[in-house]
Structures are given as C-alpha cells and as structure tokens.
Amino acid sequence: MIVTGRSPALEFAVAAAGAMNSSGGRLKITIVMARADMSGGCKVIALYADRLARRGHDVLVVSAGNRPPTLRQRLRSIVKQRKWIRHRRTLDSHFDGTEIRHRMLDHYRPIVDSDVPDSDVVVATWWQTAAWVAAFSASKGAKAYFMQDYGAPGQELSDVAPTWKYPLHIITIAQWLVDLMKEHGIERSISLVANSVETELFFSPERGKQATPTMGFCYREAWAKGYDLVLEAFRIARRSQPDLRLRTYGPTLPQRALPAGMHFRYRPSTPELREVYAACDAWIFASRREGFGLPLLEAMACRTPVIATPAGAAPELLARGGGVLVHPEDPEDMARAMCRFAAMPEQEWRAISETAYRTVQGYTWEDAVTRFEHALRRAIEAQG
C-alpha cells in the first residue's frame, strides 16, 4: 500500500529536538569502536564526532583496528573464490580525510584503560565494545552505549541482548530498537536519537519520472542486505517491463555476474551518489535486518520514493508517506511494486515523490547532534 504524509517518528524527533538546546560546558568525549570502516554505522559515528567537535567539545575516537580473518573464513574463501584472504590491519573508513581525531591500536585486541584518556563520558559503539567500556575505571568518564543495530554480520541477538544489561546509558536510533530492548527486560531510560540526512549534500529539484523506468538500490553481497531479493525481483519485473533498468552502487566490487540492465557504480563520490538517487523512479531497500538504513533518507531527500521491506526505520519513515512496504522474503511482491512505479502516471508519481521529500525535511543533523549531546549529559548525570 502506498501511503502519504510525514512519519510519526520524525514528527516526534523534530518536536523533541526543537524543545532542546545545547546546555552546559565543553565535554571531553571518548568514542570506542571495534573497527573503523565504510559501513553506515561508522558514517553515523563520524558525523557525530565531527559535529560535536565543531561545537567545541574535545572528541577522540579510539578503534581496535581490523580483526584478522579466521582460519574458517580463509578456507571458505579458498573453496568459494579460490583466493587466500590477506589481513589488512587498516580499512578505508569514513574518518579518512577528515579532521576527526582518530587513534587506532597497533593490532586488534580489546581496548583497555591505558588506551583511552580520562574523559567526561566514554561511548561504546558495538556489542563487544560495550563489555570493554563497562570494564573501564570511573576516571574514563560516565559510560554510554550507542546501539545502532543487531543482526549485522558478527552480532547476533544472542550476543547483543546481554550487553543491554551493562550499567551504560543506552542511546539508540529507532523506535523498533527501543521496543526490542524493552521486550528483553530493559526497564531503565533509553535515549532515542533518530538519524537525519545531510540535506546540503542530498537534494534534488522537483522532477518527474525517468524517460526509461529506473529503479535503484545499494548493492552489497551480504544476506542481511537482501541483494538476492532485489536481483530476483528485477528478473521477474523485466518479464512484463523489459526496458526496466537498475542503478546500483556499493563499497565493494560485485563478486558475481550482474544481470542485463543493471549498472553498478563503485564507491561513488557524494555528488555521484546524489545523481544515482535522483536518476531513479524508486529506491529499493531490501534489508532482512537493519538498524536504521541511511539510504532511505538519502533517497527521499533526492525526491525518490522508496520500495522497502519492513526492516530498520522503513516502517516508521513510510508510516504515512513516500513509498510502499513490501512483504519480506517475497521478490514477487517487490517486482509488483517495481512495475507499479514504472507504470505509474506522472501526476501520481510526483505526489509520492513530494511526500518522500517532505518526510525528511525539518529534522537536520544539527537537531540530531543536539539530542545526542543531551543523551551524553544524561549519562553523566545518571552516573555522577
């Protein structure tokens, strides 16, 4: 069902952000990461680190580097891809080329007291780092836990859920994650800080449909991201819409042959990525598991409606507008949605495009940073 209007979750976030002002003095903040890379979660952390530093706070990111591949992973690579996985100590990350202070350990191991300075607040960012931060001495600062997801590779719910019981003030990004933690018996207060989108980077003038029907999605060959569902839906949709095209981008090169009609762009710059979003009639979000899903916001900011599985923030963002939710594990339903957008009358498409655009307006990253800063101060007050 295609729906219209602004998401109730964003309405709440806008109202809450508008009611808060940054208060108090300069904070000394340490952010602890297991690995700095090109993931969406790392991008969000980098955005907060950068913008908090711009507000005058002393921000340091400490990461443990890239864990060596296990023998099992290397043997699997030999069998499936006929190559030996080489260990890279460092990875490309969203901290590269920025002024964010980032300190990485010489080799992968748990981060301990001696690796971090005394601070006002120290923030865990991954289920393993929650245990590390929980063990820090009091001088390292009040303890917070920025929890963006469960279900990504390496973080099953059975591993993550126990970390919610550590004495850390939890900050998370979506109502479904708050609800999940409550279902697991977490009764203390949780700070909800919804992600925003960089509207100065992701935007598009009012526009119409493409001359050739075009869909898009972020291509990552990971089961959780549902890339296989999109490829199958695309194959089905082209039976009745043979001129349908699929525009994609990704942080790694595809390891499999891509179907006819699909164009892949490797690590596009932000202007190139904006062009990809704005050249699509609908953006496909096919995740099986997702904490939030930044491409949802980036596409909508570029006036592109969304076809989404009910994962991450998609149900909240599309509660009243900007696209359609499809059944999980159902490429035929996804294909029907593709065909519907491809054949949609121009006037109807423009109305949904405008709804998608309006959904992400009015709540900026500065609003989100204000809420995040407030959550850090709550951690200090709670543990002070």
Residue 4 in domain = no
Q: Which residue has the higher pLDDT, 33 or 21?
A: 33
325 and 179 in a common domain: no
Q: What is the pLDDT of residue 353?
A: 98
C-alpha 37 chain-centroid distance = 13
Do 9 and 317 form a contact (C-beta atoms < 8 A)?
yes
182 and 266 in a common domain: no
Reduced to 3 states, what is the DSSP secondary structure of residue 169?
Answer: strand
Q: Which domain holds residue 19?
A: 12-196+364-383
Q: How would you classify residue 7: left for phi > 0, otherwise alpha for psi between -120 and 50, otherwise beta?
A: beta
188 and 219 in a common domain: no
Reduced to 3 states, what is the DSSP secondary structure of residue 57?
Answer: coil
195-210 confidence digits (pLDDT tens) = 999 999 999 999 999 9
**Helix runs in the chain, H state only:** 8-19, 40-54, 71-81, 127-134, 157-160, 175-183, 227-240, 270-278, 294-301, 314-317, 331-343, 346-359, 365-383
Do 331 and 7 form a contact (C-beta atoms < 8 A)?
no
Do 121 and 383 form a contact (C-beta atoms < 8 A)?
no
181 and 85 in a common domain: yes
Residue 264 in domain = yes
261 and 171 in a common domain: no
Q: What is the pLDDT of residue 38?
A: 87
Residue 208 in domain = no
* Stated pTM of the model: 0.83
Q: What is the pLDDT of residue 320?
A: 79
296-308 confidence digits (pLDDT tens) = 999 999 999 999 9
Average pLDDT, the chain: 89
Residue 146 in domain = yes
CB neighbour list of residue 7: distance below 8 Å, 6 or more residues apart: 316, 317, 318, 319, 320, 321, 359
Do 365 and 16 form a contact (C-beta atoms < 8 A)?
no
Cβ neighbours around 259 below 10 Å, total: 12
State how many domains the chain has. Answer: 2
**Position 365 pLDDT exceeds 90:** yes
233 and 124 in a common domain: no
Closest by Cα among 90, 104, 136 to 33: 104
184 and 223 in a common domain: no
**Position 4 pLDDT exceeds 50:** no
Angle made by CA atoms 83, 84, 85, in degrees to the nearest 5: 115
> DSSP assignment of 317-355, as one string?
HTSSSSEEE--TT-HHHHHHHHHHHHH--HHHHHHHHHH
Please compute the mean of the pLDDT values over residues 13-41 and round it to a whole number.
Answer: 74
302 and 165 in a common domain: no
DSSP strand pairing (169-172 vs 142-147): parallel
Residue 306 in domain = yes
262 and 141 in a common domain: no
Reduced to 3 states, what is the DSSP secondary structure of residue 171?
Answer: strand
Please compute the mean of the pLDDT values over residues 59-75 and round it to a whole number.
Answer: 76
Residue 203 in domain = no
Lowest mean pLDDT among 42-46, 78-82, 210-214, 287-291: 78-82
353 and 374 in a common domain: no
Q: What is the rounded CA–CA span in Å between residue 243 and residue 213? A: 7
CA torsion 102-46-141-137 (nearest 10°) is -60
Q: What is the pLDDT of residue 79?
A: 59
Please compute the mean of the pLDDT values over residues 38-53 and round it to a whole number.
Answer: 95
User: What confidence tier does 76 reach under pLDDT thresholds 50, 70, 90?
Assistant: low
249-290 confidence digits (pLDDT tens) = 998 899 889 999 999 999 999 999 999 999 999 999 999 989
Residue 71: give its domain's CATH number: 3.40.50.2000
Q: What is the rounded CA–CA span in Å between residue 122 and residue 141? A: 5
